[in-house]
Amino acid sequence: MLNDKKLILIVDDEEDIREILSETLESMDFAHLTACDGDEAIGLLDRHHDTIDAVICDLKMPKVSGDQVIAHGTKHYPLIPIIILTGFAQLDMALDHIRLGAFDYMTKPFRVKELLLLLNRSLEFRQLQEDKIAYQNTLEERIEEATQALHNRVVQTVSSFILAIEEKDRYTQGHSKRVAEYSALMADVLNLQENERLDLLYAAQLHDIGKIGISEQLLNKPGKLNVVEYETIKTHPHKGVKILEPLDFLGHLLPIIEGHHEWFDGNGYPNGLKGENIPYLARIIAVCDTFDAMTSERSYRKPLSLKIAIQEIKDGSGSQFDPQAVEAFLKVFEETLATQMAHLVAS
Ligand SMILES: [Fe+2]
């Protein structure tokens, strides 16, 4: 039932009117608050706007008038319907207020039937407004979820290309997946915000996508690379950017993907970026990427032991890696990876 103990704020400077309204509302099973001037009404609205369902407000009051109560209410609590109580002399003013957001008006002397009708109509209107807002919010949430799911699917599809390339070479199998797993652990230790965490995971999965543009023979070549071959390999971060550029929603990840081989001291590639000019998430991926490369078997060497790999990471702090990223990685290693990767203990 709409009028099931709805709380109505009565604002009128005339005590008689307040009393009549209070009694009438009580008889109709409404709860009520009363204010004898605009000042008190604004105070009550500010304190009880969460529980006030509607306002009945006189226009002409000494000091702070009904005008100001209506202006305050419609500005700060637009969902609370305001019914203006007015004499015929102020009808024009009442209509102006309705144009500015008041719900409706009622002329004095009012009739009980008219009051009940207006109140119920105002409360129904409020309910409709609230339902509409709730529906819009749910709709926005659903659109957000659907967009996120779509983005996820696109990233998974694109990642599957790089996984396919990695699968062709037993030495790089699962590399991007592991880098993404290490990055997820880093995100926990670094307390990354949810959106940053997602960006990091996407970028980690996609960081080597540019290798699609490099020949398989070169990628899987056993033994050392010559200068030209190495220069070709070094083009993969930029190639990755070119491949992903058409996917608008990944645009903000491109500098991260392009920067995953930059060194903290500026000696990396492709742009020789230094320190904080390298995107933060790229600095995190750089450590995870190198750690996985060291602890995976290569065509030209066995995996390095965990002890040696960790020492290399420590030695690279401040030169190849951001010291903060190294510190976080060491924490990840001690808390999780050391036990998970115990099979790689020093040979
Ligand atoms: Fe890479």
Task: Report which of residues 66 and 167 the model is more confident about.
Answer: 66
Chain segment 53-97, per-residue pLDDT in tens: 999 999 888 888 888 999 999 999 999 999 998 876 777 888 888
> Tell me, what's the pLDDT at 346?
45
**Which among 87, 114, 133 is the end of a domain?**
133
What domain range includes position 270? 168-344
- Structural domain count, the chain: 2
Report how far ligand 1's centroid is from the alpha carbon of 83 (Å): 67
Q: Is residue 213 part of a domain?
A: yes
Q: Which of 7, 85, 4 is nearest to 45 (CA)?
A: 7
CATH number at residue 234: 1.10.3210.10
Is 55:78 a contact under the CB 8 Å cutoff?
no
> Do 238 and 336 belong together in one domain?
yes
Report how far ligand 1's centroid is from the alpha carbon of 128 (Å): 55
Q: Which of 64, 54, 67 is nearest to 5 (CA)?
A: 54
**Which among 133, 156, 181 is the end of a domain?**
133
How far apart are the C-alpha atoms of 269 and 3, rounded to whole Å? 70
> Do 54 and 187 belong together in one domain?
no
Report how far ligand 1's centroid is from the alpha carbon of 271 (Å): 14
Q: Is residue 138 part of a domain?
A: no
> Tell me, what's the pLDDT at 347?
43
Percent of the chain with pLDDT over 90: 66
DSSP H helical segments within 86-111, as ranges? 91-100
How far apart are the C-alpha atoms of 324 and 345, rounded to whole Å? 25
> Do 15 and 117 belong together in one domain?
yes
Supply the mean pLDDT for the chain: 90
Report how far ligand 1's centroid is from the alpha carbon of 78 (Å): 54
Q: Is residue 107 part of a domain?
A: yes
Confidence category of residue 30, pLDDT binned at 50, 70, 90: very high
> Do 94 and 225 belong together in one domain?
no
How far apart are the C-alpha atoms of 39 and 45, rounded to whole Å? 10
Report how far ligand 1's centroid is from the alpha carbon of 131 (Å): 51
Q: Is residue 276 part of a domain?
A: yes
Residue 85: enclosing H or E segment and its boundaries? strand 82-86
Kindly provide the b/e burial profile for residues 227-249, where b requires at least 16 CB atoms within 10 angstroms of the residue's own CB: eeeeebbebbbbbbbebbeeeee
CATH number at residue 71: 3.40.50.2300
Confidence category of residue 1, pLDDT binned at 50, 70, 90: very low
Percent of the chain with pLDDT over 70: 95
- Torsion of the alpha carbons at 114, 115, 118 and 123, rounded to the nearest 10: -150
Report how far ligand 1's centroid is from the alpha carbon of 252 (Å): 18
Q: Which of 63, 67, 53, 48 is nearest to 13 (CA)?
A: 63
Q: Which of 198, 201, 203, 289 is nearest to 244 (CA)?
A: 203
Catalytic residues: 211
Token representation of residue 173: 């199998």
Report how far ligand 1's centroid is from the alpha carbon of 275 (Å): 19
> Do 128 and 209 belong together in one domain?
no
Identify the burial level of 268 via C-beta atoms within 10 angstroms of its C-beta, where 0-12 means exposed, 13-18 middle and 19 or more buried.
buried
> Tell me, what's the pLDDT at 343?
63
Mark the residues whose beta carbon lies below 5 A from ion ligand 1.
208
pTM value?
Answer: 0.66
Token look-up 């990223």 returns 325
Report how far ligand 1's centroid is from the alpha carbon of 12 (Å): 74
> Do 187 and 66 belong together in one domain?
no
> Do 127 and 184 belong together in one domain?
no
Chain segment 109-162, per-residue pLDDT in tens: 888 888 899 999 999 999 999 999 999 999 999 999 999 898 888 888 888 877
